[in-house]
């Protein structure tokens, strides 16, 4: 008899990690796909510490979260940036 879990387990195959931080921006590897976030497009990372930037979480294979910075970014916006124009006020 199979038992059904009350809560789904954590997806251990999903992975997001910072690959590099340069003067121009941040390189991120998410499930073997590489993304670049320039500081010009994502200026809120400019004053962040290296420790804060490296503290990255991936939720549901689609959502990047930096808890120390209170920043959330959907992977869709990195895959198709033209569909998600950034507006600053």
In a domain, 68, yes or no: yes
Q: What is the pLDDT of residues 3-54, one digit of tens each?
A: 565 665 554 556 899 999 999 999 999 988 999 999 998 999 999 999 999 9
Report the half-sphere exposure of 80 (CA within 13 A, side-chain side). Answer: 4
In a domain, 4, yes or no: no
| Higher local confidence (pLDDT), 33 or 83 | 33
DSSP string, the chain: -PPPPSSPPP-SS--EEEEEE-SSEEEEEETTEEEEEETTT-GGGTT--HHHHH--EEETTTEEEETTTTEEEEHHHHH-GGGS-----
Residue 32, domain extent: 16-83
- Tell me the C-alpha distance between 50 and 52, whole Å: 5
In a domain, 77, yes or no: yes
Number of domains in the chain: 1
In a domain, 6, yes or no: no
CATH number of the structural domain spanning residue 42: 3.30.2020
Structure tokens at 36: 């670049």
Q: Which pLDDT does position 10 carry in this prediction?
A: 53
pTM score of the predicted model:
0.75
């Amino acid at each position: 008899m199979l038992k059904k879990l009350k809560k789904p387990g954590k997806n251990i195959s999903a992975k997001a990690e910072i690959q590099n931080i340069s003067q121009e921006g941040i390189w991120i590897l998410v499930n073997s796909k590489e993304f670049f976030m320039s500081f010009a497009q994502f200026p809120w990372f400019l004053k962040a510490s290296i420790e804060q930037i490296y503290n990255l979480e991936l939720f549901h294979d689609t959502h990047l979260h930096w808890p120390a910075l209170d920043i959330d970014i959907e992977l869709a916006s990195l895959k198709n940036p033209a569909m998600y124009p950034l507006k600053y006020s």
